[in-house]
Amino acid sequence: MRNSIKIILVIILLVITTEAKDYTKQKNVQIFINKMVKQHHFKRAYLTKLFKSVKFQRGALGMFNPAYRKKPKKGTKIKHYPKHGSWDRYEKILLGGTRVAKGVEYMHNNRKIFQKVYKKYGVEPEYITAIIGVESYYGYNRGKFPVFDVLTTLAFEKNRRAKYFRYELKHFLLLSKREKFNPKDVKGSYAGAIGLGQFMPSAYKPFAVDFNRDGKRSMQTTADAIAGIANYFKKNGWKKHKPVAVRVSYQGNRFNTKKTGYIHKYSRVHLKGIVPKSGKWIYNGKVRLIKLDRYKYDELWYGAKNFFVITRYNHSSYYAMAIHQLAQKIKAGYKKKYH
């Protein structure tokens, strides 16, 4: 869960710098420390020591402030994408390569945990597997950025989401206090997301689960990560055995007659001429129209309530559709290989 940030198709070099900076000299950091001491009972000396020497994260900051992005060398060709085909490109990144095959093996290797989690939360294993596959490539890519340094840099340097990152920094420090770990020891994404499911720190308290009963709620361990994602889905309204999405037909090659996206809901009686391509899709609730822009045409889908639940993990229709399609491919691959 990368704090609702859409996947960026433009390649930006993320350099993890080692430039040390004393943030205790900044007025806004002093105010932050005072609040943490007064409201959350942190020791001032402890926080001062933490903020005294922070590795300034220029690469991470460049994702939110263009001034810090590394400029391409003179003569470098910049790739310009065509007007259409955004889904084709997105699909290639998230559904291509070995992601399906590795998802099948991940679900098989952890089948006992998935069975227990499904029994408790009612979230189908293939969707949890797909989340872990997209967010951390099944645990192989959990991020190499020092989370405390990243969040401090993003919280107190000029960028469009500084307020949000101050909120996440607060929750990260509270998390380190609850779970008794050194905040300087944790690695994560360029935005401070942690673990197999890439939870942002603020998501831990309401959603993380100590499923392996070791006394800690950690998204770094397989059992806790699987259960944490399932709990996130369930608390956001996931219903087991209910459909997620189905491709629909319409007249023409480009769809512009209705507003599309997960925020717009329609009763199907008002969508004449738009019908599921699969006759097996049984769903009585309102639907979202999800448009996938391909090079030569628009692909249109109905999104059910469970589709909307996936967008709570990442506020992007493309992200939710990638999770759905990856989950279905993993499910089909699993049945073919193990049944």
Q: How far apart are CA 196 and CA 77, in angstroms?
A: 35
Token readout for 155 is 């919280």
- CB of 226 closer than 8 Å to CB of 29: no
Determine the Cα–Cα distance for residues 303 and 309; give it in Å rounded to an integer. Answer: 10
Which positions are annotated as active-site residues? 135
Cβ–Cβ < 8 Å for 248, 276: yes
User: What are the Cα distances from residue 264, in Å, to 260, 302, 310?
Assistant: 6, 11, 15
Measured from the Cβ of residue 179, the count of other Cβ atoms closer than 10 Å reads 14
**3-class SS of residue 128:** helix
Cα radius of gyration (the chain): 22
Residue 117 neighbours by CB under 8 Å, 6+ apart: 123, 125, 128, 211, 226, 227, 230
Residues 6 or more apart from 71 whose CB is under 8 A from it?
A: none
> Angle between the 125-136 and 222-235 helix axes, to the nearest 10 degrees?
110
* Dihedrals phi, psi of 20, to nearest 5 degrees: -80, 145
